[in-house]
Structure 1
Amino acid sequence: MPETVRGVIARKPHAAVELVDIVIPDPGAHDVVVRIQACGVCHTDLTYRDGGINDEFPFLLGHEAAGIVETIGSDVTHVQVGDFVVLNWRAVCGQCRACKRGRPQYCFDTHNASQKMTLSDGTELTPALGIGAFADKTLVHEGQCTKVDPSTDPAVVGLLGCGVMAGMGAAMNTGGVGRGDSVAVIGCGGVGDAAIAGAWLAGASTIIAVDRDEKKLAWAQELGATHTVNASHASPTEKIQDITGGFGADVVIDAVGRPETWKQAFYSRDLAGTVVLVGVPTPDMRLEMPLIDFFSRGGALKSSWYGDCLPERDFPLLVDLYQQGRLPLEKFVTERISLDEVEKAFDTIHAGNVLRSVVEL
């Protein structure tokens, strides 16, 4: 039977979000209703609010979430009622050309719920990244649920649903960081610091954090950075080369996603090194560089989608490392807030005062 719960929506571009009643329909055959316990406030939600993703308003925001499976559709086999899950936006289909070629991390047709959540007047909602978890409950496809240990803190492990996984995966999966590598990360917000944590976990010997904010650089050191560069005071490229014996880093990760930071990443890597773009540029950004530089430096230039992760493989592993004390995921939770404080949390993101604000329900 459909039920009415609270949810945070963006009704039009750049307008303040609203906490309203939303209707959760009965789940389709492969859908599940999840009672949300915690959801991180990601910059992507802010981009949705401001119309930077698409114009399919109104949006039901929120996607970095963990909660309890409450109701399941008739054909659901992946989860059961009562399971504790982290939600993900890569529910691999198994049938698209990427999946059939053994590359499910690039799945081009990931599953979402078959039914639409609505406002109380029947207006259909577009859930952020197919999830929509700034709500008491949400409706997703069963494949968007990854079971993890229920003894963990939902506010911490829910962050694997997007930003933390994107950053860690950019280092470990896309960048292929290994033991003894030198790594530089440009931009030390939540995603960049997760890339630093991933590089540390993978055994990198030199991890260089680059940012303009000393507070963020201090956070980066807590998560594994061995060196810091304040880009307001020095050329990141020159400093990275100095730290790496004049050669440049083996892997450079751009967690900002601007033409100028990507150029810094490109020229800060060693010959045949790897550049990973995980920061998300806007459609209007353009890059102009000499083509000979691409040829003469060799190596690899990669974009990282969701850290090239497979949730069923990666989430339980990272939760296990967190429980062992080998991965300090709790350091990403800067503050815990209520559902009616999401708009305020967007202001906090703009000010750069948090790695993550997390809504607890």
Structure 2
Amino acid sequence: MDKSRAVVAIGKGKPVEVVTINVPDPGPGEAVVRVQACGVCHTDLHYREGGISDDYPFLLGHEAAGVVASVGEGVRDLEPGDFVVLNWRAVCGQCRACKRGRPQYCFDTHNAAQAMTLDDGTPLSPALGIGAFTERTLVAAGQCTKVDPSARAAVAGLLGCGVMAGIGAAINTGNAGPGDSVAVIGCGGVGDGAVAGADLAGARRIVAVDTDPVKLEWARQFGATHTVNAAEADAVEAIRALTDGHGADVVVDAVGVPETYTQAFYARDLAGTVVLVGVPSPEMRLELPLLDVFARGGALKSSWYGDCLPGRDFPMLVELFQQGRLPLEEFVTEEIALDEVETAFDKMHRGEVLRSVVTF
């Protein structure tokens, strides 16, 4: 068992604390990873605020890359020294989705069986089954995806959650392709990932929508050809005007509230696709005329983790980054120390950063 410094959310709404935790030696099918970098994601703040569950204390952090320190019994495709990006969906290989050749939809993903604990033995709930605001973390071996070790950890680790969710929403879920028009509503980390994904897919017109001028400028860095400030213009009308009056072929809602989903629904072309990748809260309800759903055709999809398959997508995207074809480094606003996470939450809440990244 190792000791490790870590960022922990002790109770609902309370500032996070940097404490010493216990990290068990890896058991069967597990690995201990020496974390090199971990992005500060809105999901971590949701955990701190009790928006995910009330299983405190939480070990926060999940957008991470690092080096495998040790592996447990039965782990064959991973060894100490491997540079990996962590993912929160280790597929089982046995459920009905996996057996049908659709492991990206695995219905029985898993995490490490053992618990990391506080010094007094209290079990920690790791964010998204990872918990990477720490020098070392214990995960299921299947949560480790080997990528090019020459990639900078602060950049590669962002594929572990938000950036992958956005890129995958555009490419994997929305099936955006060459010549398509794509609109993205909400230009934070996930939304800008969708913009970058649409650009990578060869979309001819990419419309970024937000109410913050700074975020709209960020979106241009990732390939947005047009921007719409929804505080100053009707988003649906603006998207239609920029797509020859028809609406976009694919509209990605990276916010996840009824208002933006409704905008996405009416801003798409006939037979177009709406992709919901922003996460709604449990109390939210949506009301649409059923006749409009029928008459407009097309597809209404939800994208969970960008419908990604980490073993397929992470190495490919890192390679595209290394080739200069995917501007992942533009997502990193600042690199910070472990004890600056609470400050990073404040900056994120104020919209001052795209991603703060803890580096070790």
Q: Same fold (TM over 0.5)?
A: yes
Give the drift of 1:98: 1.3
What letter corresponds to residue 253 of structure 1 in structure 2?
V
Instruction: Give the TM-score normalised by structure 1.
Output: 0.99
Give the drift of 1:235: 0.3
Q: Encode CA deviations 1:63-96: one digit per residue, 9 max, x unaligned.
A: 0000010011021112110000000011110011
Q: Structure 2 CA distance, aligned partners of 1:348 and 1:107?
A: 35
Task: Map 1:1-361; keep pairs closer than 5 Å.
Answer: 2-361=1-360
The more displaced of 109-118 and 194-203 is: 109-118
What letter corresponds to residue 130 of structure 1 in structure 2?
G
Q: Structure 1 CA distance, aligned partners of 2:258 and 2:78?
A: 42
Give the drift of 1:3: 1.3
1:167–1:307 Cα contact (<8 Å) kept: yes
SS in structure 1 of the partner of residue 345 of structure 2: helix
SS in structure 1 of the partner of residue 37 of structure 2: strand
Q: Structure 2 CA distance, aligned partners of 1:158 and 1:189?
A: 17
SS in structure 2 of the partner of residue 68 of structure 1: strand
1:78–1:143 Cα contact (<8 Å) kept: no
**Runs of at least 5 residues in structure 2 that lack an aligned partner in the other structure:** none
SS in structure 1 of the partner of residue 288 of structure 2: coil
Q: Structure 1 CA distance, aligned partners of 2:133 and 2:294?
A: 46
Q: Structure 2 CA distance, aligned partners of 1:118 and 1:109?
A: 24
Q: Structure 1 CA distance, aligned partners of 2:74 and 2:96?
A: 25
Q: Structure 1 CA distance, aligned partners of 2:277 and 2:232?
A: 24
Q: Structure 1 CA distance, aligned partners of 2:263 and 2:277?
A: 14
SS in structure 2 of the partner of residue 302 of structure 1: strand
The more displaced of 72-81 and 251-260 is: 72-81
Q: Structure 2 CA distance, aligned partners of 1:3 and 1:193?
A: 38
What letter corresponds to residue 3 of structure 1 in structure 2?
D
Q: Structure 1 CA distance, aligned partners of 2:204 and 2:103?
A: 30
SS in structure 2 of the partner of residue 108 of structure 1: coil
Q: Encode CA deviations 1:236-289: one digit per residue, 9 max, x unaligned.
A: 000000011110000000000000000000000000000000000100111112
Q: Structure 1 CA distance, aligned partners of 2:348 and 2:175?
A: 29
Q: Encode CA deviations 1:109-133: one digit per residue, 9 max, x unaligned.
A: 1121111100000000010000000
Q: Structure 1 CA distance, aligned partners of 2:105 and 2:48?
A: 26
What letter corresponds to residue 253 of structure 2 in structure 1?
D
Q: Structure 1 CA distance, aligned partners of 2:327 and 2:64?
A: 18
Q: Structure 2 CA distance, aligned partners of 1:78 and 1:90?
A: 17
SS in structure 1 of the partner of residue 138 of structure 2: strand
What letter corresponds to residue 17 of structure 2 in structure 1?
E
Q: Encode CA deviations 1:168-200: one digit per residue, 9 max, x unaligned.
A: 000000000010000000000010001000000
Give the drift of 1:334: 0.4
SS in structure 2 of the partner of residue 253 of structure 1: strand
Q: Structure 1 CA distance, aligned partners of 2:61 and 2:152?
A: 18
1:33–1:71 Cα contact (<8 Å) kept: yes
1:8–1:135 Cα contact (<8 Å) kept: yes
What letter corresponds to residue 300 of structure 2 in structure 1?
L
How many aligned positions are there? Answer: 360
Q: Structure 1 CA distance, aligned partners of 2:48 and 2:341?
A: 11
SS in structure 1 of the partner of residue 8 of structure 2: strand
Q: Structure 1 CA distance, aligned partners of 2:107 and 2:18?
A: 32
SS in structure 2 of the partner of residue 114 of structure 1: coil
Give the drift of 1:103: 1.3
Q: Structure 2 CA distance, aligned partners of 1:34 and 1:168?
A: 25
Give the drift of 1:100: 1.4
Q: Structure 2 CA distance, aligned partners of 1:293 and 1:72?
A: 53
Q: Structure 2 CA distance, aligned partners of 1:96 and 1:44?
A: 27
CA root-mean-square deviation: 0.6
Q: Which runs of 4+ in 1 moved over 3 A?
A: none
**Runs of at least 5 residues in structure 1 that lack an aligned partner in the other structure:** none
Q: Structure 1 CA distance, aligned partners of 2:74 and 2:287?
A: 51
SS in structure 2 of the partner of residue 331 of structure 1: helix
Instruction: Give the TM-score normalised by structure 2.
Output: 0.99
Q: Structure 2 CA distance, aligned partners of 1:265 and 1:76?
A: 44
Q: Structure 1 CA distance, aligned partners of 2:198 and 2:288?
A: 28
